[in-house]
Structure 1
Amino acid sequence: MEYFGTIRAPREIVFGSGQRRTLGAIAAKLGRRALMVTDVRLAGDPDFLVMLEELQAAGLILRVESGTLPDVPVQSAIIAADAARGFSPDLVIAVGGGSCLDMAKCVALLISHGGRPQDYYGELKVPGPILPLIAVPTTAGTGSEVTPVAVLSDAERSLKVGISSPHLIPTVAICDPDLTLTCPPGLTAIAGADALTHAIEAFTATRRPVTTGLTQERVFIGKNAISDQFALTAISLLWKGLEASYINGADATARAQVMQGATFAGLAFGVAGTAAAHAIQYPVGALTHTAHGQGVACLMPWVMEWNRPAIGPELEQIASAIGVGTADEVIPAIAALFARIGIPPTLAALGLAEDRIAWVAEQSCGIERLIQNNPRALSRADMHLLLTAAFKGDASLIN
């Protein structure tokens, strides 16, 4: 074992049933004028309204920005930031799913440093700290409450794009699984499958040569001794809780397991990074207009099959974490779990047209920061083969 690793995380993570009630006390220590970022549905939710009351009781002056849209169109973040500047917030509080959290990160960035989101695409482009940010997730999936990433959709590029910087990590994450109890089965499945994919890709990412500059030159440094611990624990928690929470949304234990798994997966991939499944999903999602978690989960077993020759030890550890007998049983077990919770098993079932495979292969290989993080190299010809296998549902095309 190589004793090298790093973790980047919020200053404080508060996890547990009812812990959303700590928001007022925590926020009062960070600012006085709080911009609340959420969406239209949550803005009228009873839990959200109680949060507003408790923040006001703690002495905060509030402005609510409820314009978050799915996948955060770039222009919507610009509009929200422009509208909030006159309020002069000294604190941002995000309440909602991954899109709300990403919107809040982007708005806090634009208020702090100006410019447009496009100025910060890629890694390490954020010049310094942003406004203090408290993240209160209401779904268990993206892990954005602990990650250095904000994902936006750029209409000009017809793709999702990412801003990656340690400066985007929220100051505090308040993770209350009670907020996920009303999450419907379909969203529970998609979000949880996204989290499991995060954990698997972080755990099986490439291991880069260690240099003294590695942690400062990259946001995503590949798998390491510290991220591995979070990733493997996340896999175990999600394996235990995901199907149970999908079947019975009122199962508080399963909800807690899934939310903690999603947060741990975020801590893992926030430093290790994700890989080919996420690279492929960006163009696939643009073509099929399907949810991100649905796409990466559909792809994950096929990417694992491609990576199998390079991830033997990791498959053995995953087998132990999920309680299957051998490493060879892991990929079928993951695929079967996804099938049971309604994830499409192939790219054809996801809605991709066969004549777009070549375009997806070209676009996927162009996302080098993710492809380079994959444990087994992928040329364009390899990518076309992998995508064809995932489209037809035929693993023999890969090996």
Structure 2
Amino acid sequence: MTIFAAIRLPREILFGKGQRHALPAVAAKLGKRALICTDERFAATATFAEMVAGLKAASVEVLVYSAVQPDVPQETVAVCVNQTRHFAPEMVIGIGGGSCLDMAKCAALLLSHGGELKDYYGEFKVPGPILPVIAVPTTAGTGSEVTPVAVISDSERTLKVGISSPHLIAFAALCDPELTMTCPPGLTAIAGADALTHAIEAFTAARRGTDHTLAQNNVFIGKSALTDHFALLAIKLLGRSLEKACKDGSDEDARADVMMGALAAGCAFGTAGTAAAHAIQYPAGALTHTAHGLGVATMMPYVMTYNQSVASAEMAEIGKALGLEASGTNIEDHAKGAIEEIRRLFAAIGITSTLADLGLSADKLDWTAEQAFGIDRLIKNNPRPFDLDAMKRLVRAAYDGDLAASAI
């Protein structure tokens, strides 16, 4: 079998302490007018003022939209665009957490192609290139700085909605770990667990073949040699440093590892995609109003156990990346060791262990399973196939905290 690989990434990725200071030079290459999307908290910081001053010194005129809300309510994108269209920006800069980056992508989309955001829900609905986006994350989790996805919430729908298109990939990603130093322990844990889940699901995603039309018809195309490289790097970095960063937010090396881990995980799943843990989180999160990263991480050990029968070799590799000693030659034991280490790590940083603890009610288990099973773009990416009964058993096992039952 010949190697198959595919990857879609920004034109430029800059990572390291102080790389935020490259923003003026990067922006000046794209034009003279920049719309900045951020939130009220970060807009009030001295760091943000310094970044704006740097842009102005580089002769880049700036208009700031600082009303980005968590989970990007779809109606707020129209507000942003209506308030800023007169400025005729030549680029959009997202500075903040994943919601700020997603807002920047969505604003660039509507400024470029018009219409309503709902016109673009789903895959490959964006008709062409959008205004260039520069992504400057201040948290380490979603990987939105490098992915082709923007996730928004729509009051007319129970579940969050995704817009997926290679045209949404940022022009440049500037990742400065110093911007994460003030991130509180709880958010560090949830965001980092989200990133680790991205990496594990990308690495264990189904292999979907080498058909030359695959990547032309699907945004997410399953695992490949290149996505595997990024996924294992993410698992290694997050495995060794996420717990440290949660315990000591001033640990610069741990912060850098976690941010690089989130970046690498984004590089992996942005092409490979995610799978069942994300499918279950969408309805579970909608019902419990809990953070996305918390939900996917809660599900991850159960999904790994469900998938172990067909992905034990990959899970054994995950164990090696996590630094586990590989004594003996039994791959199944190594795979179980990896699952147990993920459970231990998530428990150590405060991730809930069951869907019941997440707040999901027992009478919503079947509905959650039915909704998850219907998210085809994620379910077809799972290495072990599902039918509805299997999904119901998995959701029940995660509710009860019965890891063994999730293997059935």
Deviations 1:149-196 (A, max 9, x none): 000011101210100000000000000000000000000000000000
Q: Corresponding residue for 1:328?
A: 336
- Who is 1:308 aligned against? 308
Cα distance in 1 for partners of 2:159, 2:316 equals 35
CA distance in 1, matches of 2:35, 2:71: 20
* Residue number in structure 2 paired with 1:353: 361
TM-score between the two structures when normalised by the length of structure 2: 0.97
TM-score by length of 1: 0.99
- 1:83-162 correspondence to structure 2 within 5 Å: 83-162=83-162
Q: Which residue of 2 aligns with 1:3?
A: 3
Alignment of 1:107-256 (within 5 A): 107-256=107-256
Residue 295 of structure 1: aligned partner: 295
Structure 1 position 364 matched with structure 2 position 372: yes
Q: Which amino acid aligns with 2:251?
A: D
Partners of 1:188 and 1:397 lie apart in 2 by: 31
Which residue is equivalent to 1:56? 56
Q: Is 1:2–1:225's contact at 8 Å kept on the other side of the alignment?
A: no
Shift of 1:327: 2.2
The letter for the 2-side match of 1:335 is: R
Alpha-carbon displacement from aligned partner over 1:235-288 (angstroms, at most 9, x marks no partner): 001101100000000000000000000000000000000000001101001000
The answer to whether the 8 Å contact 2:142/2:195 transfers is yes
Structure 2: 5+ residue runs without aligned partners?
326-333
Q: Is the alpha carbon distance of 1:2 and 1:348 closer, same or farther for their aligned partners in structure 2, counting shifts above 3 Å? A: farther
Does structure 1 conserve the Cα–Cα contact (< 8 Å) formed by 2:38 and 2:95?
Answer: yes
Kindly report the root-mean-square deviation, in angstroms, between the aligned alpha carbons of the 2 structures: 0.8
Distance in 1 (alpha carbons) for counterparts of 2:319 and 2:341: 9
CA distance in 2, matches of 1:111, 1:311: 43
CA distance in 2, matches of 1:279, 1:369: 9
Counterparts of 1:134 and 1:345 in 2: how far apart (Å)?
36
Residue identity opposite 1:374 in structure 2: N
Counterpart of 2:388 in structure 1 is 380
What CA distance in whole angstroms lies between the structure 1 residues aligned with 2:30 and 2:97? 22
Query: What per-residue deviation string (whole Å, max 9, x for no partner) do you get for residues 358-392 of structure 1?
Result: 10011101110001100011111111100110000
Question: What percent of counterpart residues are identical?
Answer: 60
Q: Distance in 1 between matches of 2:389 and 2:2?
A: 33
Whichever residue aligns with residue 88 of structure 1, its letter is A
SS at match of 1:232: helix
Asked if 2 retains the 8 angstrom alpha-carbon contact of 1:285 and 1:295, the reply is yes
Provide the C-alpha distance between the structure 2 equivalents of 1:311 and 1:24, rounded to a whole number of angstroms: 45
Please give the alpha-carbon distance, in whole angstroms, between the structure 2 residues aligned to 1:272 and 1:263: 14
Task: Give the match for residue 34 of structure 1.
Answer: 34
The one-letter code matched in structure 2 to 1:44 is: A
